Amino acid sequence: MSNLSEQEIIRRQKLTELQDLGIEPYPAPEYLVTHTAKDIKDNYSEENKEKFADVTLAGRIMGVRDMGKASFAVLQDYSGRIQLYVKRDDICPGEDKTLYDIVWKKLLDIGDIIGVKGYGFVTRTGETSVHVKEFTLLSKSLKPLPVVREKDGETFDAVTDPEFRYRQRYVDLTINPEVRNVFRQRTKLVSTIRQFLDRQGALEVDTPVLQSIPGGAIARPFITHHNALDIPLYLRIANELYLKRLIVGGFDWVYEFSRDFRNEGMDRTHNPEFTILEFYTAYKDYFWMMNQTESLLEECARALHGTTDVTVGDRTISFKAPFARVPIYDAILTHTGIDIRHMDEAALLDVCKTLHLEANASMGKGKLIDTIFGEKCEHHYIEPTFIIDYPVEMSPLTKSHRAKPGLVERFELMINGKEIANAYSELNDPLDQRARFEDQVRLMERGDDEAMYIDYDFLRALEYGMPPTAGIGIGIDRLCMLLLNQPSIQDVLLFPQMRPERASGAAHDEEA
């Protein structure tokens, strides 16, 4: 009790008083809800009031205005908020007024979860409300919510501390309705993508999260250990190689919303655990995939906003097709004034030094080019732009370009200065793929801890024959940031990764 605030001590005392009165503060029986706050507020009228003559709601008390023998309160359920009118003689029709005078007025607090039964009506000020005939305590809240004041639809003293909001997301969701809406919209976005793919006959699948080889991307993995098999396993950094195995197996179009894990830094656009959509389609190429991506993002924008023009920060970005297409070497020439297309590794290292970019001898040609583009070019591409035709050294899983030696058929989609998607005409030549993997091993031997491992089973699958295939990975979290106008990846993740709390002094002072 020594670590409890005064408010927490008082609430625990109230809990005991409730129990002494024979009121169970955490009852077990089902509480059958018939209506939501939104349903009543949107649909109640004097003409159809009979439909709302007997309603049952449940939610949190978010405010109380005591008027003596009657009270107004605000109830919040998952759909929104509605005003309650609680009159002493209605809920205590007999001589005993304990339920109102003691329980309602003294032992309940903001944050408590209650159920109410009553009927809909409109107050003299024109507010649709519920006249309460009966209430039930469903859960006593022992910690006070942060105080957020509202007046005339405006919010004052909103809790904006990101450390508190991300760490205690359950409180953030309770007190900030706009945050709940972000995650409803995120679900709508994922549902829109799923419908887009299902409509065209794609098959949703699941592939392993624990993998013996962390393949499909250039990234540092998380390592764990399987006790029964006594082997190391890796949390997947990508699901690409498993999805392509399914193309080998005879599925023509597969997709997966996968949770991937990369043991790398955290910032505004990176979280070590993230969601990516990958899909692979047989007998297609990267030109087809660009068209498909344009159609998909147009549909997503319209589903969320009713238009292809989306507000992102202080900009309006159009998701209307077609998107610009810019070769990566042209992009680098435009934004650095340097033509690197014929440079070897040593020359690229010199360019990095000239441009004051962090680079070293352990980085291969592909990583050096990626550094130049990422630092000097990427942020310039605000409107949706396909950066295309990458050098082979940057793309170990991509088919060589049909007309441009030394390049591959790959694009990355840049929007608002960040990569949103990465796609290829997939490499299906098993001998070429083996050589590319071996190049990655040599980079690993030079100290590149993000180079790819050789996946011998994947090579074996390719040797059985994989049809020409187009594949793409779309970062769902970053796409959410864009389409929902959120500045940080933490704002579109329900529970972003955080440093562990300190053993003491970690609690937020809710009453501050």
pLDDT at 161: 86
Contact 409, 454 (CB under 8 A): no
The CA distance from 302 to 295, in Å, is: 11
pLDDT at 88: 97
User: Mean per-residue pLDDT for 74-88?
Assistant: 97
Query: How do residues 171-196 score in pLDDT, each as one tens digit?
Result: 999 999 999 999 999 999 999 999 99
pLDDT at 209: 96
DSSP 204-247: E----SEESS--SSSSPPPEEEETTTTEEEEE-S--HHHHHHHH
User: Mean per-residue pLDDT for 462-484?
Assistant: 98
pLDDT at 510: 43
pLDDT at 154: 60
- Among all chains, which residue has been given the structure tokens 């809909």? 120
pLDDT at 362: 84
> H/E/C letters for each residue in 443-505?
HHHCCCCCCCCCCHHHHHHHHHCCCCEEEEEEEHHHHHHHHCCCCCHHHHCCCCCCCCCCCCC
pLDDT at 511: 40
Query: How do residues 410-466 score in pLDDT, each as one tens digit?
Result: 999 999 999 999 999 999 999 999 999 999 899 888 888 788 889 999 999 999 999
The structure's pTM equals: 0.90
User: Mean per-residue pLDDT for 337-343?
Assistant: 96
Task: Give yes or no for residue 486 having a pLDDT over 60.
Answer: yes
Q: Which of 283, 279, 277, 276 is nearest to 254 (CA)?
A: 279
The rounded radius of gyration (Å) of the Cα atoms in the chain is 29
Q: Which of 367, 480, 333 is nearest to 415 (CA)?
A: 480
Contact 393, 272 (CB under 8 A): no
Query: How do residues 272-331 score in pLDDT, each as one tens digit?
Result: 999 999 999 999 999 999 999 999 999 999 999 999 999 999 999 999 999 999 999 999
pLDDT at 507: 46
Query: How do residues 47-66 score in pLDDT, each as one tens digit?
Result: 999 999 999 999 999 999 99
DSSP conformation class of 105: I
Within 10 A of 429 (CB to CB), how many other CB atoms are there?
Answer: 13
Contacts of 60 (CB under 8 A, 6+ apart): 75, 76, 77, 110, 111, 112, 113, 114, 141, 174
User: Mean per-residue pLDDT for 334-362?
Assistant: 95
- Among all chains, which residue has been given the structure tokens 């549909």? 299
Mean of all residue pLDDT scores within the chain: 94
Task: Give yes or no for residue 1 having a pLDDT over 70.
Answer: no
Task: Give yes or no for residue 34 having a pLDDT over 80.
Answer: yes
